[in-house]
Amino acid sequence: MQLKNDLLLRAAKGEKVERTPVWLMRQAGRILPEYRAVRESVSGFIELAQTPELAAEVTIQPVDILDVDAAIIFSDILVIPEAMGLPYEMVEKRGPWFPETIKSEADLKKIRIADGVDDLNYVIDAIKITKKALNGRVPLIGFAGAPWTIFAYMIEGSGSKTFSKARAMLYTQQKFSHRLLKMITDSTINYLKAQIAAGADLIQIFDSWAGILPPDHYQEFSLKYISQICDAITEVPKTVFAKGAFFARKEMGALNCETIGLDWNMGIAESRELIGDLKTLQGNLDPAALYGSPKEVEAATKRMMDQFKGSRHIANLGHGVYPDIDPEMVKVFIETVKNYR
């Protein structure tokens, strides 16, 4: 199906665009009262993500309400450990929690490489429903977590400020760490290929905990596996967003992907110099800028756009939109990007 608005795909590929495309990480979610109404109709986040019709509905909400240039499928990065045989729960106000964790080589026998289709059929079905309902209005983004970020949760069992158990593994059990990372990588490739077959027009890899590793470990235990995923996915453009990995921007320029996402701590001019001209940059307004007045949000957005001027760019925030931000300020951000020339 021909897309009516293919700005995002053209910008990712470095083709000519009439204006900069714009979308937001976490645009489908708690900032919208319409989302909260759907969420209240089910027992919680996991049930919502595992009900394809509802996941599709909340995926499309930001396209209808905020008028963004792309939809991103409503799901979670932790569906991969679940599909591999390590289920998780979402604890209110605390985040994800794994009743069982991976502690040693012996535990690898309890998990498997996910096939991506049958193991995660609810995400695949949600993509198919969303794609049909969007009817070519905008592209649909599929996504997965980077292997290191998934590994961190599977070892730690929950979110953490330090992920010290997971990081300790990289020092004390290197062979085991690489085995588990490879299983996660193979599962993720299967999953992303299934998303693309179902209709995803572009995929994004989220390395949420990139910034807690030292540079040498980031090379060995994260970037190496992200690179394998990028090489395996040839069907659609790919975006890599590694939060906090300011030290690896030069290496990211060499990845086999079209777009590199910048967090709000990464200087734009410096990032462009390190990453080079052959990649599109995505981002990177500080999400906290959206707490300002309409005038302040507009001014902050223009300052960001001025710095990206004349280079390959997809406008976004430097991380997910915060849940207590006024949707009206999100609209100001989007409109400012759209009107920027």
Q: Which of 69, 76, 186, 201 is catalytic?
A: 76
Q: How confident is the model at residue 313 (pLDDT cuts 50, 70, 90)?
A: very high
Q: Which domains does the chain have, with CATH numbers?
A: 7-339 (3.20.20.210)
pLDDT attached to residue 72: 98
Examine the residue annotation and report whether 167 is marked as an active-site residue of this protein.
Answer: no
Q: What is the pTM of this model?
A: 0.98
76 is catalytic: yes
Band (107; pLDDT cuts 50, 70, 90): very high
Report the distance separating Cα 98 and Cα 118, nearest Å.
22
CA distances from 160 to 94, 119, 178, 220, 277 (A): 10, 27, 21, 22, 36
Chain length of the chain: 341
| Average confidence (pLDDT) over 89-107 | 94
- The annotated binding site for substrate is made up of 26-30, 76, 153, 208, 319
The reply to whether 272 belongs to the active site is no
Residue 179 annotated in active site:
no
Q: Give the HSE-up count for residue 73: Cα atoms under 13 Å, Cβ half-sphere.
A: 35
Phi-psi region of 316 (alpha: psi -120 to 50; beta: other; left: phi over 0): beta
pLDDT of residue 1: 79
pLDDT (0 to 100) of residue 3: 97
Q: What percent of the chain has pLDDT over 90?
A: 98
Residue 93 pLDDT greater than 90, yes or no: no
Lowest mean pLDDT among 46-55, 86-95, 163-172, 188-197: 86-95
Residue tagged active-site, from 35, 88, 153, 225: 153
CA separation for the pair 44, 56 (Å, rounded): 16
| Binding-site residues | 26-30, 76, 153, 208, 319
Is the CB of residue 25 less than 8 Å from the CB of residue 319?
yes
C-alpha separations of 293 from 22, 167, 289, 297, 333 in Å: 20, 41, 9, 6, 11
Q: Are strands 71-72 and 238-242 parallel, antiparallel or unpaired?
A: unpaired
Check 19, 30, 122, 340 and give the catalytic one: 30
Cα–Cα distance, 287 to 267 (Å, whole number): 15
